Structure 1
Amino acid sequence: MSDIYSATFIFGKGQYDEEFYALDNVIAEHTRQTPGYLGLQSCEDRVQNLLINIYYWQGRQGLEMLMQDSVHLKAKQRHYNWLKGYQVIIARVEQSYGDGLLAQALDFPADSSVSVRAIT
């Protein structure tokens, strides 16, 4: 079984226009169609005015495909129009656990290397 990877995209929120939303929607659809895509978590840091999206994949293939996606590359070239900076963090997920009080954010495959307690 291949490892699970996360890609954390941290964006300084700027001014969004119709082109931004159109590209964002296409990229989101392309992302969901990449091999091994598991899901997305998103949160906002209102103090620092940041948007944080964390995507998960089983294996690196889908992540690599997203990074080479033509629409993603187009948006990346134009990011200064909409964002106040960005950072991307790619990581291999070692473990996931909790106390069971939160709904499970992602449905990791049971035979993956990630330890996830089933919530019933």
Structure 2
Amino acid sequence: MFTATFTFAAGTYDDEFHALDARIAEVARAIPGYRGEETWENPATGLISNVYYWDSMEALQQLMAHATHREAKQAQARWLKGYQVVIAEVVSTYGDGGIAHPLADINRR
């Protein structure tokens, strides 16, 4: 399992941003191996993080190679004040089952 965490400082969004963001989400969800996503905001810093979960690095790389992703990467400065992407391998997950999570069913500890 892998995660791709996209953390960014929001700028000014327009209709083109929202349309491109929706297309990226549609592409990601259609890739075999996509497990889900979460979004978090830090009120103290104003930063937003989108965490995408994947079965394999190959699945994640399909999104990164897609033309829509490349288009967004090239245009990001129009809408964002900065961004950082972290790719990580999941080595363990656990919990009490009280919340739904994209990786809840792998039960690795």
What is the CA–CA distance in structure 2 between the aligned matches of 1:19 and 1:89, rounded to whole Å?
A: 25
Tell me the matched-pair count: 109
1:51-75 alpha-carbon deviations (Å, 9 max, x no partner): 1011011111221011111111111
Q: What is the alpha-carbon root mean square deviation over aligned residues?
A: 1.6
Unaligned 5+ segments in structure 1 are none
Decide whether aligned partners of structure 1 residues 108 and 35 sit closer, same or farther in structure 2, where only a CA change above 3 A counts.
farther
- Contact in 2 for aligned 1:35/1:61 (Cα 8 Å): no
Offset at residue 98 of structure 1 (A): 2.2
Please tell me whether residue 63 in structure 1 is matched to residue 60 in structure 2: yes
Please tell me whether residue 105 in structure 1 is matched to residue 105 in structure 2: no
Offset at residue 23 of structure 1 (A): 0.1
Name the counterpart of 1:37. Answer: 34
1:16-75 alpha-carbon deviations (Å, 9 max, x no partner): 000000000000000001120001011111221111011011111221011111111111
| Partner SS state of residue 78, structure 1 | helix
Mark the structure with the bigger radius of gyration: 1
1:91-113 alpha-carbon deviations (Å, 9 max, x no partner): 1001111244x413124554xxx
Please tell me whether residue 22 in structure 1 is matched to residue 12 in structure 2: no
Higher fraction of helix = 2
- Contact in 2 for aligned 1:6/1:55 (Cα 8 Å): yes
Question: What is the TM-score when the length of structure 2 is the normalising length?
Answer: 0.91
What percentage of aligned pairs have identical amino acids? 43
| Partner SS state of residue 24, structure 1 | helix
Question: What is the TM-score when the length of structure 1 is the normalising length?
Answer: 0.83
Name the counterpart of 1:54. Answer: 51
Unaligned 5+ segments in structure 2 are none
